[in-house]
Amino acid sequence: MAMILNEEQNLLRDSARDFVSDKGPVSAFRKIRDEKNADGFDKALWTEMAELGWAGVIIPEEFGGADFGFQGLGVVLEETGRTLLPSPLVSTIVLGSSALMLAGSDEQKSALLPAIAEGKCLMALAAEEGAHHAPYAVETAATADGDGWVLNGSKCQVLDGHVANQLIVTARTSGASTDRNGISLFVVAADSDGVEIEALSMVDNRNSANVKFANVRLDASDALGTQDKGADVLDAILDRGRIALAAEMLGAAQQVFEFTLEYLKERHQFGQPIGTFQALQHRAVKMFGELEICKSVVMEALTAIDEGREDVPVMASFAKAKVGDAMHLISSEGVQMHGGIGMTDEHDSGLYLKRARVAEHTFGSSAWHRDRFATLSGY
C-alpha cells in the first residue's frame, strides 16, 4: 500500500490542524494546567471535537460513527500531539470503543457506542496494577456469585479514570496472579457502589487515577468477551492504544523539531546563526532522519489495524519503541539547543520533554517493546 494519505485523510488532517491551532494551542494546555482543571481537559472543547466527528471516527456507521479507520484517527492524534492538547481520544475512543468493538455483545455495543460517538460517554481502561507495565499481572479478582460476579481489588495509572462514566476492568477469574490465562474483562459503571476513584496529576500535567473495587456487584451482562480469555482482547486493545499513542507522540516530536529548527536559524552567536555550526547541523539531521522513519512506521502500523493484519502486535511494538526513542531524543535536543531559555517554564520545550517521558512509558516502555518485538519475531 502506498505510504501516503489519500484525499479524504489529507482533508481531515488539514481541518484538524486548523481546529487545533485555533481552539487548542499550547497556551490552552497551559491554562488547563495553571488553573488546575479537575477534569484535565476542556469539556466544552471536547464537545466541539465530538461535533466534528472525532469521537466516532473509528466507530461503525451503524452505531453513529464515521467508520473512518485508524489512519483517519492517526492524523487527528498527530495534530493534537503537536499542541499537547489533552482529550479523551486515547482513553475513550481508542481503548474504550475498541474494547466494545472487539468483544462487546450486541447489547453493550448498542448501549455505549452511540453515546461515545456523540461525546456523551467517557471510558477508561483499568488494567495496570503496578509501577511498571505488566498487563498480565492481575490480582484484582472477580468471584462468581449466583448469576453475577463480585469484584475486589485495585488499579493504578488509569488514564482519564477520574472522568470516566464506564470502566473496562481486567480481573482474574482463575489462575495465578501472573498467568496470561484466567483474565476476564468487565464493563463497570464508574458510579457503582464500592468503586472508589482517586484522581492523580502526572508530571506532564495529564490526569490518571487510582481505582479501588470493594465488593462491587456485577451482572452477567457486564462481562466483556469470553471468561478466562480476556488477555487476547486486552492485547488487541493495548496494541491499538500503543499505535494511537505513537501517532500522538509523532506529532509532538515533529512540533519540537520544527520550532527548534527555527531557533537554530534565528539565534545568532559570533555574528552568525547557530544553525550554521556543523555540530548543531549534524544533530538536526539526526532528528530529521528519525522523524522520517517514524512517519513510515506509524503509517504502516495504522494501516495494519485497518487491514486487520496478523502483524498488528509486531507493528505496535515496533512503532511504540521507535517513536518513543525518537521523541526522547528530540525532546531532549529541543531543550538543549535552546540553551538557558529551554530550561524555563516560559518556553514550551520543557512541556514537550515532560510529555515525552510519560508517553514513552505508557502502555510499555521502549525497552519493554523491544523485548516483545524480539519475542514475537522468534528471537
Q: Which residue has the cell 544553525?
A: 275
Instruction: For residue 3, give the 3-state DSSP assignment.
Output: coil
pLDDT at 5: 76
The C-alpha cell of 21 is what?
491551532
pLDDT at 8: 84
Rounded to whole angstroms, how far apart are CA atoms 266 and 270? Answer: 13
One digit per residue, the tens of pLDDT, for the chain of length 379 reads 456 778 888 889 999 999 999 999 999 999 999 999 999 999 999 999 999 999 999 999 999 999 999 999 999 999 999 999 999 999 999 999 999 999 999 999 999 999 999 999 999 999 999 999 999 999 999 999 999 999 999 999 999 999 999 999 999 999 999 999 999 999 999 999 999 999 998 999 998 999 999 999 999 999 999 999 999 999 999 999 999 999 999 999 999 999 999 999 999 999 999 999 999 999 999 999 999 999 999 999 999 999 999 999 999 999 999 999 999 999 999 999 999 899 999 999 999 999 999 999 999 999 999 999 999 999 9
Q: Specify whether the backbone of 363 is left (phi greater than 0), alpha (psi in -120 to 50) or beta.
A: left
User: Model-level pTM greater than 0.75?
Assistant: yes
**DSSP at 115:** H
- End-to-end CA distance of the chain: give it in Å, rounded: 28
Instruction: For residue 133, give the 3-state DSSP assignment.
Output: coil
Helices (H), the chain: 7-23, 26-34, 43-51, 69-82, 97-103, 106-117, 230-266, 278-306, 312-337, 349-359, 366-376
Are residues 247 and 81 in contact, defined by beta-carbon separation less than 8 angstroms?
yes
Q: Which residues contact 292 (CB under 8 A, 6 or more apart)?
A: none
Q: How many CB atoms lie within 10 A of CB 296?
A: 11
Farthest CA pair distance, the chain = 80
Pairing of strands 268-269, 148-159: unpaired
Question: Is the alpha carbon torsion for 298, 299, 300, 302 positive or negative?
Answer: positive
The C-alpha cell of 90 is what?
486515547
pLDDT at 2: 52
| Whole-number CA gyration radius for the chain | 21
Rounded to whole angstroms, how far apart are CA atoms 60 and 66? Answer: 6
Rounded to whole angstroms, how far apart are CA atoms 341 and 361? Answer: 27
**Angle made by CA atoms 94, 211, 96, in degrees to the nearest 5:** 15
Rounded to whole angstroms, how far apart are CA atoms 293 and 291? Answer: 5
| DSSP structure string for 358-378 | HHTTTTS-HHHHHHHHHHHTT
Q: Set out the domains of the chain in order of their start, with CATH numbers.
A: 7-120 (1.10.540.10), 124-229 (2.40.110.10), 232-376 (1.20.140.10)
Backbone angles phi, psi at 62, to 5 degrees: -65, -20
pLDDT at 6: 82
